[in-house]
Amino acid sequence: MIRSRLELRRAAAAVLAGNDAGGWTRPAPRLYPHQWSWDSAFAAIGWAHLDAGRALTELEHLFAAQWRTGLVPYLVYDPAVADDAYFPDSARWASHRAAAAPAGHATGGLGQPPVHAIALLRVWETGWASEREQLRERIRRLYPAVLAWHRYLATARDPQGSGLVTVYHPWESGADNSPRWDAPLAAVPIGDVAAFTRRDTQVIADADQRPSQIDYRRYVALLDAMRERCFDESAIAAEHPFAVKDVFFSAVFAAANEALLRLHDLLGGPAPDRLAISRWLDRSTAGLERAWDPVTGLCLDADLRTGSVLASQTFAGLAPLLVEGLDANLRHRLLATLQSVRFLSAPALCPGVLPTTSPDDPAFDPRRYWRGPTWPVITWLFWSALARTGQADLAEQLRAAALELVAAGGFAEYFDPRTGEPLGSADQSWTAAVVLDWLAAEA
C-alpha cells in the first residue's frame, strides 16, 4: 500500500525512469520490450510532469518510424532487444516488404488509437512558462507528421467517408481481446498458420489473464495475411478477412482532431489544414452519432465484411463521450448508460471503477484481457473528457477510484474491477504516466 501522494508520485516517476530506454519508454519491463504507439503517447503525458523536453523526445522517436502513407506503426522494434523477447518478432512482420515503410526501422504494420495529438496538447499545457518557446518549436516540427497520420486515418482508413475508422486487426483497436471482436475474429480462416511461440504466457503465468490460444492463432493469421499482401492498402481494404468500423478508435480520432485544431491555432498553422481537420472532425462526430443503438444505450462497432452491428456492451460504446463537440442529446444518453448499473453503478464492482466490459454482457470476464478488467489509461481518457465537458464530479469519482486501485495494488497493467486485484504486467508505464497527471491535477 502506497500511503502518501508524495510517495505515489515518486513511485510513478520511478516506473517511468525504470522503463526508460533512452528517449522512449518500454510499456513494461518484460512483457513489452519495444516501443508501442499509444503507450508512448501516454508515457509522454507522464514525462511532461518530470521533463517536458523528454516527453517530446518520446513522440519524436515514434514518429521517426512513421510510414510514408502517414501510418504511425503500433510497434517500433528495438534492435537491441533479442528476437525471442516478444512475439511477434520483427521478422514475422517483415515491414521492409512495405513500399511505404521507412528505411532503418523495423515496425509492425498496424496502427493504434491516435491519442498523439491529445498527448501533445497535454504536454504543451503542462510545460513550464519558461520553456514555452522551445516546446512550441518542437511541437511545430512534429505537427506535419501528426497531420499526415490524421489524413491517413481520414482517407485510407475510411474510403467510404463514413466518419468511422476501419481497423484490420484487434491489435489496432488497442483493446485486443475485447468481446467486440469475437464474431469478426471467429470468421477469420486460420488455415495453416506457421508455428510460433507465444512470449506473453511465459511472462504472465496465469493464462486466464491473457487471450486464448485460438484467438492468438487468428491474430497471427491476420498478421501473416497483411505481410503476404506486402501491406498494400487497397488489397487489404478489399480482401482482408477482418475489417471493422471501430467506435472507440473513431472517437479517439475525433477527440484528437479537436486537440489538433488547438495545436494548429497555437502554432498559427495554414488555413487549409484547419479546414481539413474540421471536416474530419465533423465527419467523425456525425459517424459516431449514427452508430448510436437505443437498445444497448451505446454506440456500436460494425463489421464491414458481414454488414452486421456488433452489440457488445463495452467501454468503447461510451467513447463518443470523449468528443467535446458531441450532440448534447447523445451525450446525455451516454452519460446515463455510463452511470447505470451496467457500468459505474454495477453492484458487483468497486464503486466508480469503469470496467472494459459490462458485467451485464455475457462475455464479461473480470480477469481476462479487455473482457472486464479496468485499465487506468482508459479511465484517464474518460476523466479528462468529462472534466472538460462540465462533468467535474463524475470525472473526480473516476480519478479517485482509479488512484485508490493503484495506491493499493501498484502500477499494474489492469485491475479486477470487483476486487481491485492488480493483473497483467507490473510496472506498466502508462499506468504510472496517468497517475502523474492525476496527481498534478489534484495539486
Residues marked active site are found at 176, 413
Minimum gap (Å) between residue 33 Cβ and ligand 9WN = 10
Q: Nearest-5° angle of CA 387, CA 389, CA 390?
A: 75
Minimum gap (Å) between residue 381 Cβ and ligand 9WN = 12
Q: Which of residues 349-368 bind ligand 9WN (CB under 6 A)?
A: none
Q: Cβ-closest residue to ligand 9WN?
A: 27
Please report, as a single letter, which amino acid is at residue 408. A
Please say whether the beta carbons of 277 and 264 come within 8 A.
yes
Q: Helix 392-409 vs helix 376-388: angle between axes, to the nearest 10 degrees?
A: 160
Residue 345: partners with Cβ closer than 8 Å, 6 or more residues away: 339
To the nearest 10°, the Cα dihedral for 258, 261, 265, 271? -150
Q: Nearest-5° angle of CA 177, CA 182, CA 183?
A: 155
Cα separation, 27 vs 430, whole angstroms? 7
The verdict on 246 binding ligand 9WN (CB under 6 A) reads: no
Q: Nearest-5° angle of CA 108, CA 118, CA 39?
A: 35
Q: Which of residues 193-232 bind ligand 9WN (CB under 6 A)?
A: 200
Please say whether the beta carbons of 300 and 247 come within 8 A.
yes
DSSP assignment of 313-331: -BGGGGGGGG-TTS-HHHH
**Closer Cβ to ligand 9WN, 32 or 383, answer by number:** 32
The verdict on 380 binding ligand 9WN (CB under 6 A) reads: no
Minimum gap (Å) between residue 253 Cβ and ligand 9WN = 16
DSSP, collapsed to helix, strand or coil, labels residue 357 as strand
Options 35-43, 45-53, 283-291, 299-307: segment touching ligand 9WN (CB under 6 A): 35-43
The verdict on 39 binding ligand 9WN (CB under 6 A) reads: yes
**Closer Cβ to ligand 9WN, 163 or 376, answer by number:** 376
* E strand or H helix at 299: strand 298-299
Options 36-44, 250-258, 394-402, 414-422: segment touching ligand 9WN (CB under 6 A): 36-44
Q: Which of residues 166-195 bind ligand 9WN (CB under 6 A)?
A: 171, 174, 176
Please say whether the beta carbons of 83 and 94 come within 8 A.
no
Cα separation, 40 vs 24, whole angstroms? 7
Please say whether the beta carbons of 95 and 207 come within 8 A.
no
Beta 309-310 vs 301-303: how paired, if at all? Answer: antiparallel
The verdict on 38 binding ligand 9WN (CB under 6 A) reads: yes
Minimum gap (Å) between residue 172 Cβ and ligand 9WN = 9
**Closer Cβ to ligand 9WN, 109 or 269, answer by number:** 109
Interface characters, 73-102, with ligand 9WN (x: CB under 6 A): -x----------------------------
The verdict on 27 binding ligand 9WN (CB under 6 A) reads: yes
How many chain residues bind ligand 9WN (CB under 6 A)?
A: 10
Options 33-41, 92-100, 156-164, 353-361: segment touching ligand 9WN (CB under 6 A): 33-41
Minimum gap (Å) between residue 117 Cβ and ligand 9WN = 17
Q: Binding residues for ligand 9WN, per CB under 6 A?
A: 27, 32, 36, 38-39, 74, 171, 174, 176, 200
